[in-house]
């Protein structure tokens, strides 16, 4: 896999995190193939089995809706291992720590999720895009956090 392809895919994963945290549906939509598949594990979908979403609109709506209930989120993209499948397809495992901040009567809480994305990427006329993202949760924790007023969290409705 060429260095330029690795850089493009790594940038794609960072752009995903930024679009999710900004709740930017348009930016998020531009990161997926039209027939993208997103697989959410039971811990994140509220059922007892994986849920598979298909298509840009379904995926984007689900992702934005899921983070919109939080005061703020911060997805920290960590290491990525990328492997070519063919000239126009690659797979990767991307580590992420996802912070989900909510306001409660006793202050702010962070539901941290240590996860890995099992990704398939496709090179298109628009560049490298996500063709499939499957989330794997390694662990979660819930901790008290201090959120400075400058973060904008003081303007959000309590959860």
Number of separate domains in the chain: 1
Q: What are the φ and ψ backbone dihedral angles of 58, each rounded to 5 degrees? A: -60, -45
State the Cα–Cα distance between residues 153 and 70, nearest whole angstrom.
9
Which secondary-structure segment (H or E) carries 82? strand 72-86
pLDDT at 148 (0 to 100): 86
State the Cα–Cα distance between residues 133 and 92, nearest whole angstrom.
10
For tokens 């662990």, the residue is 139
Q: What is the CATH number of the domain that holds 89?
A: 3.10.450.50
pLDDT at 157 (0 to 100): 44
pTM, rounded to two decimals: 0.90
pLDDT at 102 (0 to 100): 95
pLDDT at 100 (0 to 100): 97
pLDDT averaged over 10-residue windows placed end to end, the chain, 159 residues: 95 98 98 98 82 96 95 97 96 98 94 98 98 97 88 47
pLDDT at 30 (0 to 100): 98
State the Cα–Cα distance between residues 116 and 23, nearest whole angstrom.
20
pLDDT at 156 (0 to 100): 45
Range of the domain at 34: 3-155
């Amino acid at each position: 896999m060429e260095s330029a392809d690795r850089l493009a895919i790594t940038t794609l994963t960072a752009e995903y995190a930024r679009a999710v945290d900004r709740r930017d549906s348009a930016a998020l939509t531009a990161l997926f193939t039209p027939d993208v598949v997103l697989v959410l594990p039971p811990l994140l979908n509220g059922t007892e089995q994986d849920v598979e979403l298909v298509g840009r609109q379904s995926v984007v709506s689900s992702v934005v809706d899921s983070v919109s209930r939080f005061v703020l989120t911060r997805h920290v993209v960590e290491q990525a291992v990328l492997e070519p499948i063919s000239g126009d397809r690659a797979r990767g495992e991307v580590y992420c720590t996802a912070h989900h901040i909510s306001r409660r009567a006793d202050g702010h809480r962070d539901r941290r999720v240590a996860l890995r994305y099992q990704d398939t990427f496709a090179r298109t006329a628009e560049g490298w895009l996500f063709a499939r993202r499957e989330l794997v949760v390694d662990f979660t924790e819930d901790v008290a956090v201090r959120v400075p007023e400058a973060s904008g969290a003081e303007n959000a409705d309590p959860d």
